[in-house]
Structure 1
Amino acid sequence: MVHSPHGKVRIGVGLVGARSTDEFGTEFEELVDALDRSTVDSLWLADLASKSVVDPMVGSTWAAARTRRLKVGTGVTVLSGRNPMLLAAELATLTVLAPKRILPVFGIRAASPEDRQLHPVPGRLADVFEESLVVLRRLLSEDSVTHHGEFFTLDGATVLPRPPRPPDIWLGGRADVGLRRAGRLADGWLASFLTPAETARGRTVIEKAAGDAGRTIDDDHYGTNIWAALPGTDLDAALERAAQQRPDIDPREIVGIGWEGTAELIRRHVEGGLTKFVVRPSAPIPDWFAYLDRFSAELGPLESG
């Protein structure tokens, strides 16, 4: 067990790619059923429209309906280029139907260049993102929203049904401008491809930005994705993908090598102040039931609280 002064340590499962397009739906059903029988409390779906992965909003709805305890995270979903009003309506309904189980995380742009063309924005990316976030949050928490901004206009807009308490909105991001944005506007932070030293620093930057804005973020609302190269998979391919994301560092600093290396990487992030983790396997999983048994045995003991 790993103890953190910042709250409960929780480790969820991230989905990367399907084994094959032929068994796409069957595999996702297998995964959700396996999760429902396991002790893992959360599933996280990436927004990679051009890849063979489940769409995060559709997948969250499907998984939440099929289970009764599983939490589902949409991390990281691209917000810029989406209609924040319609997205608010979707999130509100989903949160009413699956209370306390929907965990939305948003990012400013798609991870891959081929996906960025699917999210056209009418102005500067950062400005569109921030206004979209403001509109989204207001619609999820206010009875009537009037908003006359640079990109969106609303007069007495209402989203129903609206949950008694809006879902916490987390943001991704690793550049300082994104970290400060999380401090100003988010309820939590989910990092990607950062070293333990960088996530520790990221938490400090976010906390300062939140304080400067006169707000606070819950102590246990800081987390990161963990890219895991597990036994039987291609380590070189995992390191190469990590290097593409972070050519400036040794990829072994951000990849968990084997179960032991993944556990050690989580421990190092916990020491820096993080408590929430999404472990994403670097290659498709041939048997989700067997994977989750091993996942629970190897990583479950790290959870606390």
Structure 2
Amino acid sequence: MRLSTVILPIHRWAEGQQTWRRAEDLGFHAGYTYDHLSWRTFRDGPWFGAIPTLTAAATATTKLRLGTMVTSPNFRHPVTLAKELISLDDVSGGRVTLGIGAGGTGFDATALGQEPWTPRERADRFAEFTALLDRLLTEDAVSHEGVFYSADEARNIPGCVQRPRLPFAVAATGPRGLRLAARYGQAWVTTGDPKLYEAGTPEQSAEALRDQLGRLGAACAEAGRDAADLDRILLTGFTPERTGPLQSVDAFVDFAGRHQELGFTELVVHWPIPDSDFAADQAVFEKIATEAPAQLGYGGQA
């Protein structure tokens, strides 16, 4: 099982770059950041752009994979996003994973002045967005006239360093999103069942995740793919155990081992942020990063 981290873009780069370098030194497989314009309790504080942050991180590291967790259509267009992604993939030497999802409500979902989208419209947009982005990242020139997104001879030469394109990690739990993961994803992302966050039990969460994994398998079978070909990523911190697994190495290994048995191949933990939902002891966090992966059968960043 791989261990990765999410580093929220809340610090000026003079300070933030030290965190990204430290994440690489600790041996994390990947460092992700949220692709939002603002988010939750951080809404009225510093918050920087995901793609510029990841580009800077690419120049500050050499081995750490980099990615969004996750990008959505809320304020992105496939044509401009594709150009930014091939540039980021180039700067990083082919170390980028695009986490991509349908987006949600609140926070920055209406930042461009649009009316809130219904769940169905978010799903419709996500499907068209993902399909067009796949073409833009694999073809030299793309023209497309869609319901929500269009492209007119949009060029992306020379394309991604990674071939045929950089990998997609598709965040989804509903049937339409899971079908997108099965068709376009090289990985699948979940945070668990949000209904269980406040009052659920670890056992209920495990059952919900087992069900999600089963439905992913069914979607892959329908698409003619083996679900084992997809990495299965759990973004932690949103299950009933919350930050409990970060209390000690033993607690984390127990948590990670149970989810490894369910079928997850990568766990993502939030870099500690004092006085927030992601508060954790930094020394314990770093001990987990250096000691837990070996106990879980993972030996390095490659």
TM-score (norm 1): 0.77
List runs of 5+ in structure 1 lacking aligned partners. 1-8, 228-241
Report the counterpart of residue 180 of structure 2 in structure 1: 181
Change (3 A) 1:281 1:256: farther
CA distance in 1, matches of 2:65, 2:19: 14
Equivalence for 1:107: 101
**Pairs within 5 Å for 1:139-158:** 139-158=136-155
Return the offset for 1:299.
4.4
Aligned twin of 2:28:
40
Q: How many positions carry a matched residue from both structures?
A: 271
How far apart, in 1, do the equivalents of 2:233 and 2:115 lie? 28
What does 1:87-102 align with in structure 2 at a 5 Å threshold? 87-102=81-96
1:121-160 correspondence to structure 2 within 5 Å: 124-160=121-157
Structure 1 letter corresponding to 2:171: G
Equivalent position of 2:72 in the other structure? 78
Query: How big is each residue's C-alpha offset from its partner over 1:37-57, in whole Å with a ceiling of 9 and x where there is no partner?
Result: 332231111134223444321
Considering Cα pairs closer than 8 Å and 6+ residues apart, tell me whether 1 or 2 has the greater RCO.
Answer: 1
* Mean CA deviation greater in 260-269 or 278-287: 278-287
Matched, 1:258 2:247: yes
Using the size of structure 2 for normalisation, the TM-score is 0.78
Q: Residues 220, 147 of structure 1: CA spacing in aligned structure 2 closer, same or farther, 3 A cutoff?
A: closer
C-alpha distance after superposition, 1:48-104 (max 9, x if no partner): 422344432122111111111111121112234311101001111211222331111
Over the matched positions of the two proteins, sequence identity in percent amounts to 24
Give the equivalent residue in structure 2 for 1:226.
236
Q: Equivalents in 2 of 1:185, 1:298: separation in Å? A: 31
SS of the aligned residue for 1:116 comes to coil
What SS does structure 1 have at the residue aligned with 2:67? strand
Give the partner amino acid of 1:210: C
Structure 1 position 258, deviation (Å): 1.5
Displacement of 1:225: 0.9
Report the CA distance shift for 1:263/1:290 in structure 2 as closer, same or farther (over 3 A). closer
Q: 1:216 to 1:294 in 2, by over 3 A?
A: closer
Which residue is 1:207 aligned to?
217
Q: Is the 8 A contact 1:94 1:102 kept in 2?
A: yes
CA shift at 1:199, angstroms?
2.5
* CA distance 1:75–1:145, shift in 2 (3 Å): same
Structure 2: gaps of 5 or more residues: 194-204
Query: CA 1:200/1:219 → structure 2, altered by over 3 Å: closer, same or farther?
Result: farther
Structure 2 counterpart of 1:60, from 23, 38, 54: 54
Partner of 1:4: none
- Does structure 2 retain, via aligned residues, the 8 Å contact 1:16–1:282? no
Following TM superposition, by how much is the alpha carbon of 1:216 offset from its aligned partner in structure 2, in angstroms? 4.4
